[in-house]
Amino acid sequence: MKDQASEARRNGRSRCCNKYDYVIVGGGLHGSLAALSILHNSPHARIALIEKEAALGGSHTWSFFPHHIHPESAPWFADLIYKSWPGHQVLFPGFHRKLSCGYASITSESLHRVVMEMVEGSVNGEIFLGDPAVRLTSDRVVLKSGAVLRGRLVLDGRGQPENEVFKGAGVQKFYGVEAEVELVDKTRLGFDPTQPCLMDATVKGWDGYRFFYILPFAAERWLVEETFFSDEADFDNGESRKRIERYLHKRGVRLKDVLREESGALAMPWRNPAPCNDARLTGDYAEAGASYPSPYPSPFKLGLRGGWYHPATGYSLVQGVEVAVLLGKYAPHAPPGEEICALRKGLARRSRFMRFLNWMLFRAVHPGKRLNLMERFYGFSEGLIDRYYACRPGRFDPWMLLFWKPPHPRYFKILPEKGSHG
């Protein structure tokens, strides 16, 4: 690892134009996945991974259904998994349902540890922490310290640009704590404490759809998040923390100690994304002032910045692994442009219906009826629910979701709202 700021000061301009095969900007989820895949396939690849913070991965828990992960990633992905469970559950006012699909989580710590080991243990990999990139072009990256890194392929994994996030989108906003807990009264719990509870929506709702999300990492260590599907991004984390404590208390659980906090606001867009050959895929090639003759769109945008996510969940891990698998298969001078384009088109096609569902949830129904739509959704078969989370709806799923026991007309804004649940 380079303590980049001090090293650049010591070396003055001597670090100018270090050459790499890949310069990856952003050591969050997707920059890290790309680095792991590339190094697994090409152990001698010259990689620079640049992260503006002191550690990789921020403060996150990334969860997913393991069978959605691209199987070819298994050799480099498996070590990232911090905890997995054989099933999960949801709680709604009308029912409690256990689902048999496994669930798993990666934490920032597990990501940081695995990526540091992989990159630092490689022949030509380097990690630059605490030194933000201030300029990216198709073949070089300038860091705040003044270092200039030249790469055959520049990958831009700096996360979602803030000003773009909530245009034409609903908001999934949340605050959570990873905490030491004690189960004081089992009779009040109401769910299986050995398996994740992805939605406890039996709580009082406001600001759209409100629920709690619980990941039991161990008997006495849980991640508990309060989540809203809202029209607004603003959120008071302090108030949310108090509500989490009250929620746990009601469930017969004592919150002993908060170990870590995490919060976020994810876009759930209904607006269509730009087409396949737009700047997101071509990486603003002209705008970036390309000077290196590369056949590949560079800088290539990864993760949220590149729109590689599931529009109806805001989650991106599964899509990020697919991109990373492709990047790992090809050399930086002969990258998988067409395959990436096909992947992008496939995601865009499959996302269309997901965007329509977002439109329904955030625009068409009364905010207070989002709960009813979610409860109805969880009444469908496990297969349909699973395909929805995989962003791979089956041919008849849209018809089922729209017309099988269709939502009550009063849920929709064309009619005045009556009651909050029914």
- Residue 112 or 152: which CB sits closer to ligand FAD? 112
The one-letter code for the residue type at 18 is: N
User: Which residue in 23, 129, 248, 304 binds ligand FAD (CB under 6 A)?
Assistant: 304
Position 28 contacts ligand FAD (CB under 6 A): yes
Distance CA 139, CA 289 (A): 9
Range in contact with ligand FAD (rule: CB under 6 A) among 10-18, 183-191, 314-322, 348-356? 314-322
What string marks each residue from 365 to 384 as x (binds ligand FAD by CB under 6 A) or -?
--------------------
- Residue 190 or 346: which CB sits closer to ligand FAD? 346
Distance CA 296, CA 152 (A): 9
Position 170 contacts ligand FAD (CB under 6 A): no
Q: Are strands 221-230 and 133-136 parallel, antiparallel or unpaired?
A: unpaired
Q: Are strands 133-136 and 140-143 parallel, antiparallel or unpaired?
A: antiparallel
Residues 258-297 that bind ligand FAD (CB under 6 A): 262-264, 266
CB of 357 to ligand FAD, least distance (A): 18
Position 3 contacts ligand FAD (CB under 6 A): no
What string marks each residue from 7 to 26 as x (binds ligand FAD by CB under 6 A) or -?
------------------xx
User: Which residue in 62, 77, 85, 211 binds ligand FAD (CB under 6 A)?
Assistant: 62
Position 330 contacts ligand FAD (CB under 6 A): no
CB of 164 to ligand FAD, least distance (A): 12
Residue recorded with tokens 């298969």: 329
CB of 305 to ligand FAD, least distance (A): 6
- Residue 128 or 411: which CB sits closer to ligand FAD? 128
CB of 417 to ligand FAD, least distance (A): 31
Do the beta carbons of residue 34 and residue 323 sit within 8 Å?
Answer: yes
CB of 293 to ligand FAD, least distance (A): 25
User: Which residue in 4, 15, 27, 281 binds ligand FAD (CB under 6 A)?
Assistant: 27
- Residue 234 or 338: which CB sits closer to ligand FAD? 234
Distance CA 277, CA 350 (A): 17
Distance CA 41, CA 227 (A): 38
- Residue 80 or 133: which CB sits closer to ligand FAD? 133
What string marks each residue from 132 to 161 as x (binds ligand FAD by CB under 6 A) or -?
xx-----------------------xxx--
What string marks each residue from 82 to 121 as x (binds ligand FAD by CB under 6 A) or -?
----------------------------------------
Distance CA 316, CA 339 (A): 19
**Contacting positions for ligand FAD (CB under 6 A):** 25-31, 50-53, 58, 60-64, 132-133, 157-159, 262-264, 266, 303-305, 314-317
